[in-house]
Structure 1
Amino acid sequence: MKTSRLLAVYAPLFAVAVGWGLFRLAGFEGGLVLGWLPGAIGLAIGGMYLLAAARTPGLEPAGRRFWRHLAVAALLIAPSTGPFTEASLGGRKTGPLLFAAVGLLGVALLLVLWALLRLPTRVRGRGDWLRLGLDAATVLVCSATFLWQFVLRPIAGAPLPRVLALLVLSVLCLLAVLAVVKLILAGVAAVDRRALRALALVVLIGSVGSALVPLLDGPRLAGVSDLVTMCEALMVAVAGVLQARRAGAAPATPLRRRRPYSVLPYLAVAAVNLLLVAVTVAGGGTLPVLFGAVVATAAVVARQLLAFADNDGLLRSLREHQWLLREQATHDALTGLPNRALFNEHLEHAGAAVLVDLDDFKAVNDTLGHPVGDGLLVEVGRRLRAAVRPTDLVARLGGDEFAVLVPDGPADGLEGIPARILAELERPVHTHGHVLTVTASVGVAVRAEGEGAQDLLRHADIAMYAAKRRGKGTHARYTPDLSGLLMTPESRLADLRRAIAEARPPFTLEVGRAALVSPGFAAELTGLLAEAGLTPDGLTLALPAAQLADDGVLPRVMRELRAAGVGLALDNTGTGTVRLDLLSALPFSAVIVDPPTGVDDHRSRAFAEAVARFARDAGVEYRVRSEGSLLESAL
């Protein structure tokens, strides 16, 4: 429906009502029908617009019922305007027509009230209804105060039938106001919100008109009441037009978000307090108005206190939600331990790191199932917490890999942590009807001066890998000679090829223990020498004494190299002593020593001569490191 059509219908009616009001103001007393007829026609036309709104495509059944009820109410109110207009101009004060008009108006108000109350609202919870009730009660008290001051108080000495009729209508009006306020505050889905606001304006205009009744007692001002009726009729039609434009379907663009609060109760309290000030200044009866202002203010205060409680609950819920999100983001869901994210935060300030990797965990999942594996991980996490101090951080990094961060480094019993961890894990684990034996590889690293967090983690990983090479259920602590353990075969092969290509025979290469014990090292070395056209007897491998551990792997590899013709030198650089035990126990072909620091020291010279004689007697070449490096290259 177009707005231009609506204006075309109501503009002539407004013109007649305004004209008649001007004639009455000028003293013209005839043509009473011109006073009430425009309002009656306007309300009847508004009822037709409401019926059209009830036929809006896609409208919910509750919305159709609501608009039909309002249309019938508008059609009932339309004929009652005539008797009321005549009564206000000093004509028929009582009689069947006036009582019939009051009856029609009462039925119409009851129908409006019924239609409003039957509309479903969006309010669901008990707290929502409590807040809604306080807001609606505030508006209702303020409306009742205005109704008393301007409608009921002036007719205190009037005949009883008139007082009862106006009292009944006033109560019905207050109930209608309550229903409209409830819908405005709670919101509805079955009726267009803009149309509901137009109906609220109808109630507001009617309340203003009722308040003006005592002020318009003179016959010359009677036209104002008819203009009020015309405004009500127009807003009724506007409500129908707004609902018809919605066409039932949801709009393509998203609706503007509603405010989480309403200013209506505060406006009502402000209005009743202004009324109290006006009545006090005028010197009239202030007690009823004062009572209304106090009650309305008390309702607003109670509503505000409830809002404070709600806000406090929301903030507490928000804090709990934030804590829960933090826990979910920083802790492992299965074991409850800190995860890698929180581990990395604490890693920046840790003095030492311990990595724990379970041995053969995949076999548990594959043979017994993931529930058993999960139960095992939970128990391992509990035992790790029991094995360390409360100040140490135990984390699950993923899968079967755990970690412990020690904030104060080796000062307070770090050496005992790996042993306690392995001891805790040795005890059988009972889960899901199975008894499991757990072993783990534990790597320990202490942060050196100037090292970063990632260096500490990398060193702990290298130590853990070294522990795995030693066997299940063992631990290792990081030392610089372990760094080669993480070399890939490809990178080790590339380094060997580059060192051999850059050297000229006879030459010496320094090799760390990690590279020496790598699988296939002897075969790789001899193959690269043949590839370069060199013979093994032109190469000597220098092994730092500090990196040589007593185990069964090293002698086997050294025997393979000596059998291939490669020379092996025991390099005592930086040790301050000569490891004669290693020289006799392992198949070395040479020994390298640093020159004596005290040349005039008789004991140092005597010791050097004794080592040289021992080397000659054992068939081992004796070398003294000269200025710079004896070695042409290093691995």
Structure 2
Amino acid sequence: MVKAVIRAVRTSRLIALYAPLFAIAAGWALFRLAGFEGPLVLGWLPGAAGIAIGGGYLLVAANAPGLTPAGRRFWRHLAISALLIAPSTGPFTEASLGGRKSGPLLYAAVGLLAVALLLVLWALLRLPSRVRGRSGWLRLGLDAATVLVCSATFLWHFLLRPMAGAPLAKVLGLAVLSVLCLLAVLAVVKLLLAGTAAVDSRALWALAVVVLIGSFGSAVVPLLSDPRLAGLSDLVTMGEALMVAIAGILQARRAGRASTTPVERRRPYSVLPYLAVAAVNLLLVAVYVSGAATLPVLVGAVTATGVVVARQLLAFHDNDDLVRSLRETQRLLHEQATHDALTGLPNRALFNERLEHAAAAVLIDLDDFKAVNDTLGHPVGDGLLVEVGRRLRAAVRDSDLVARLGGDEFAVLTTDRPPDDAVAERILAALSAPVHTHGHVLTATASVGVAARAEGESAQDLLRHADIAMYAAKRRGKGTHARYTPNLSGLLLTPQSRAADLRRAIAAARPPDTLEVGRAALVAPGFAAELTGLLAEAGRTPDGVTLALPAAQLADDAVLQRVMRELRAAGFGLALDQTGTGTVRLDLLSALPFTAVIVDPQLREEAGPQLPDKAAFAEAAARFARAAGIEYRVRSEGSLLESAL
């Protein structure tokens, strides 16, 4: 604010305009201080001219481009008020100092001042503020009331109290003007505390300084009863005039941005009410020390302090509401971060967190869910997933964690005792009941894999074992379950046996090498690094090796995607092995980074003229592979090195 004022004074004609007026006012003050009398008009003219010039700057601000209609109206009203105040300030000041007792000139001055103050008040009250809500207006009202009580206390002590015994007309005039001044102070304080987008905040603070200088001038009136000090009031008037002009300059310079880029407040609170209370308490101490009547000032100090206490209690209440709202927001954010938006179940993030302390894991993968989405639409598929989640929660204990890992894959974690086969059977039974959603009746089946955590096993081992069991269930058929055991249908290989098989396969293979790898070996921790190392021992590189992956064991899931990306990054080729299926999984070819597809000869044998649909599918699969840059192979006896890994 101070820097902005200094810059405004330096870069405008203010110095050229106001320096002579200040010189005249200062000369007049020294002239009176020396005890000389002279025409009073010499003391009036600098202040009147300064206020009139300030009114001109306010008109410039009102006509600046880019100003909002509310801001333009505000500055025009202030400019008119300044032009009304200019001719009336001299007679009124003289009367306040005891120089003019009554007369038409004084009454005219009081009338002009009253009209000007009413116009200022009207302009201030019509400005829109940023305060919203009943609570915001209550806080603003208490802050404004604090400043108002303190201002009234100062006006009473310095302006009205010394008028005791003065003519009634003069006292009433001062009382009316004091009330108008208090209302103007209230309006200014409201804008300073609430803020407005229509007027630049620095210009508002300049106007607040005008009010402050005026209050100071009223406060020193009793000290200027000596005619030799009367000239000081003209210097006070010049200070007010200068700040009026600075307010107009500050607004004119920011008019183009004031409506769209309001200056943000540096603090979310205002110290103005607390400064006002501190000032009135200092006044109370000064009055007590001087021995003057303290009751009115004491009443003002106590009242202002009481209002501040009420405001503080309201702030405590608002802070409490804010803390509760913040905690609720944090809870909702945590809920959104750890739970699935569709089913409301815990998601993979919370599942992974609880997996570290789980005693057992159950993986549930819905059978043929993709066909539901493709044929009936995603809303039907979403309805099915929601119902599956509800049934899973009902099929297990309240202490068990039911999570949706993504897509059609769900999981259950237990932390105390491993689940038995009855748990998997209850899950399958719960899912087998018909599901009614979006006008369709569906039957959900799933493959369920169960694994218990053995001593010394990590969380990832538990998840891998449950995954192996789930794919074992898939091989048994839809709607079945399997429990993990170390010899589960040969799906699990120990690291030693896997390494031995790999060495034999690498040694027996001849370029181009194709090794068959099952899912269990593929998802084993460190498989890509292990295979790369064994190839390096044999003097081979991954560039000439293609891994054939059986389609029956594959699905588009995060684990498989991660492993296949690692293998492709290492240089391995990846082939989707459709041997024995008589079809091609185009969904897997498009979703996973395969470099080749191996089809069974029966696909071509069956795709003869007698089966035109089968022939069309075989041709479409071949065209798809060529378009995607995927090698299309037909398996022939002895062309592939079979190694059941």
TM-score range, shorter chain: 0.7 to 0.9
**Which residue is 1:392 aligned to?**
400
Per the TM alignment, residue 358 of structure 1 is displaced from its structure 2 partner at its CA by 1.0
**For the Cα contact (< 8 Å) 1:462–1:483, is it kept in 2?**
no
Q: Partner amino acid for 1:217?
A: S
**For the Cα contact (< 8 Å) 1:138–1:269, is it kept in 2?**
yes
Give secondary structure in 1 for the equivalent of 2:364: strand
Q: How does 1:168-567 map to 2 (within 5 A)?
A: 168-249=176-257, 255-410=263-418, 413-482=419-488, 485=491, 495=501, 498-499=504-505, 501=507
- Call closer, same or farther: CA 1:27–1:143 in 2, change over 3 Å: same
**Which residue is 1:56 aligned to?**
64
**For the Cα contact (< 8 Å) 2:200–2:258, is it kept in 1?**
no
- Call closer, same or farther: CA 1:240–1:500 in 2, change over 3 Å: closer
**Which residue is 1:25 aligned to?**
33
**Which residue is 2:20 aligned to?**
12
Q: Partner amino acid for 2:109?
A: A
Per the TM alignment, residue 255 of structure 1 is displaced from its structure 2 partner at its CA by 4.6
- Call closer, same or farther: CA 1:51–1:480 in 2, change over 3 Å: same
Deviations 1:434-475 (A, max 9, x none): 322221111011112221111111111111000010011111
- Call closer, same or farther: CA 1:24–1:243 in 2, change over 3 Å: same
- Call closer, same or farther: CA 1:499–1:121 in 2, change over 3 Å: closer
Rounded to whole Å, the distance in 2 between the matches of 1:183 and 1:253 is: 17
- Call closer, same or farther: CA 1:137–1:58 in 2, change over 3 Å: same
**For the Cα contact (< 8 Å) 1:484–1:512, is it kept in 2?**
no
Per the TM alignment, residue 389 of structure 1 is displaced from its structure 2 partner at its CA by 1.3
Deviations 1:335-358 (A, max 9, x none): 111011100000011111110111
Per the TM alignment, residue 371 of structure 1 is displaced from its structure 2 partner at its CA by 2.1
- Call closer, same or farther: CA 1:50–1:420 in 2, change over 3 Å: same
**Which residue is 2:50 aligned to?**
42
Deviates more, 1:140-149 or 1:87-96: 87-96
Per the TM alignment, residue 75 of structure 1 is displaced from its structure 2 partner at its CA by 0.9
Rounded to whole Å, the distance in 2 between the matches of 1:189 and 1:380 is: 54
- Call closer, same or farther: CA 1:512–1:273 in 2, change over 3 Å: closer
**For the Cα contact (< 8 Å) 2:199–2:258, is it kept in 1?**
no
RMSD: 2.7
Deviates more, 1:370-379 or 1:6-15: 370-379
Rounded to whole Å, the distance in 2 between the matches of 1:401 and 1:49 is: 73
Rounded to whole Å, the distance in 1 between the matches of 2:251 and 2:27 is: 32
Q: How does 1:144-155 map to 2 (within 5 A)?
A: 144-155=152-163
**For the Cα contact (< 8 Å) 1:409–1:447, is it kept in 2?**
no
**Which residue is 1:530 aligned to?**
none
**For the Cα contact (< 8 Å) 1:459–1:478, is it kept in 2?**
yes
**Which residue is 2:529 aligned to?**
none
Deviations 1:166-217 (A, max 9, x none): 0000000000000000010110111111111111100110011011111111
Structure 2 gap ranges (5+): 1-7, 510-516, 522-642
Q: Partner amino acid for 2:207?
A: L
Rounded to whole Å, the distance in 1 between the matches of 2:276 and 2:342 is: 56
Rounded to whole Å, the distance in 1 between the matches of 2:476 and 2:378 is: 29
**Which residue is 1:583 aligned to?**
none
Rounded to whole Å, the distance in 2 between the matches of 1:115 and 1:468 is: 79
Structure with larger Rg: 1
**For the Cα contact (< 8 Å) 2:29–2:230, is it kept in 1?**
yes
Q: Partner amino acid for 1:306?
A: L
Give secondary structure in 1 for the equivalent of 2:257: coil
Rounded to whole Å, the distance in 1 between the matches of 2:506 and 2:57 is: 100
- Call closer, same or farther: CA 1:89–1:282 in 2, change over 3 Å: closer
Deviates more, 1:427-436 or 1:147-156: 427-436
Rounded to whole Å, the distance in 2 between the matches of 1:30 and 1:295 is: 46
Rounded to whole Å, the distance in 1 between the matches of 2:312 and 2:245 is: 37
Number of aligned residues: 506
Q: How does 1:555-634 map to 2 (within 5 A)?
A: none
Deviates more, 1:247-256 or 1:85-94: 247-256
Deviations 1:139-188 (A, max 9, x none): 00000011011111111211110111000000000000000000101101
Deviations 1:543-602 (A, max 9, x none): xxxxxxxxxxxxxxxxxxxxxxxxxxxxxxxxxxxxxxxxxxxxxxxxxxxxxxxxxxxx
**For the Cα contact (< 8 Å) 2:67–2:259, is it kept in 1?**
no
Per the TM alignment, residue 430 of structure 1 is displaced from its structure 2 partner at its CA by 2.3
**For the Cα contact (< 8 Å) 2:345–2:404, is it kept in 1?**
yes
Q: Partner amino acid for 1:323?
A: R
Q: How does 1:131-150 map to 2 (within 5 A)?
A: 131-150=139-158
- Call closer, same or farther: CA 1:19–1:454 in 2, change over 3 Å: same
Give secondary structure in 2 for the equivalent of 1:248: helix
- Call closer, same or farther: CA 1:229–1:348 in 2, change over 3 Å: same
Give secondary structure in 1 for the equivalent of 2:346: coil
**Which residue is 1:167 aligned to?**
175
Deviates more, 1:432-441 or 1:399-408: 432-441
Per the TM alignment, residue 333 of structure 1 is displaced from its structure 2 partner at its CA by 1.0
Give secondary structure in 1 for the equivalent of 2:365: strand
- Call closer, same or farther: CA 1:66–1:514 in 2, change over 3 Å: closer
Per the TM alignment, residue 512 of structure 1 is displaced from its structure 2 partner at its CA by 11
**For the Cα contact (< 8 Å) 1:484–1:514, is it kept in 2?**
no
Give secondary structure in 1 for the equivalent of 2:404: strand
Structure 1 gap ranges (5+): 504-510, 516-632
Q: Partner amino acid for 1:129?
A: W
**Which residue is 1:3 aligned to?**
11
Deviates more, 1:450-459 or 1:135-144: 450-459
Q: Partner amino acid for 2:153?
A: T
Q: TM-score with structure 2 length normalisation?
A: 0.75
Rounded to whole Å, the distance in 2 between the matches of 1:396 and 1:378 is: 10
Per the TM alignment, residue 86 of structure 1 is displaced from its structure 2 partner at its CA by 4.0
**For the Cα contact (< 8 Å) 2:91–2:106, is it kept in 1?**
yes
**For the Cα contact (< 8 Å) 1:338–1:394, is it kept in 2?**
yes
Q: Partner amino acid for 1:279?
A: V
- Call closer, same or farther: CA 1:253–1:184 in 2, change over 3 Å: closer
Rounded to whole Å, the distance in 1 between the matches of 2:283 and 2:21 is: 34
**For the Cα contact (< 8 Å) 2:210–2:243, is it kept in 1?**
yes
Percent identical among aligned pairs is 83
**For the Cα contact (< 8 Å) 1:481–1:512, is it kept in 2?**
no
Per the TM alignment, residue 87 of structure 1 is displaced from its structure 2 partner at its CA by 3.1
Per the TM alignment, residue 402 of structure 1 is displaced from its structure 2 partner at its CA by 0.6
**Which residue is 1:126 aligned to?**
134
Deviations 1:225-275 (A, max 9, x none): 111001001111111111111142259999555311100000001111111
- Call closer, same or farther: CA 1:85–1:304 in 2, change over 3 Å: closer
Q: TM-score with structure 1 length normalisation?
A: 0.76
Rounded to whole Å, the distance in 1 between the matches of 2:29 and 2:330 is: 66
**For the Cα contact (< 8 Å) 1:60–1:248, is it kept in 2?**
no
Per the TM alignment, residue 477 of structure 1 is displaced from its structure 2 partner at its CA by 1.1
Per the TM alignment, residue 427 of structure 1 is displaced from its structure 2 partner at its CA by 2.0
Deviations 1:401-452 (A, max 9, x none): 1101111243xx5332111111212222222333222211110111122211
Deviates more, 1:19-28 or 1:275-284: 275-284
Q: Partner amino acid for 1:232?
A: E
Give secondary structure in 2 for the equivalent of 1:442: strand
Per the TM alignment, residue 81 of structure 1 is displaced from its structure 2 partner at its CA by 2.5
Per the TM alignment, residue 14 of structure 1 is displaced from its structure 2 partner at its CA by 0.6
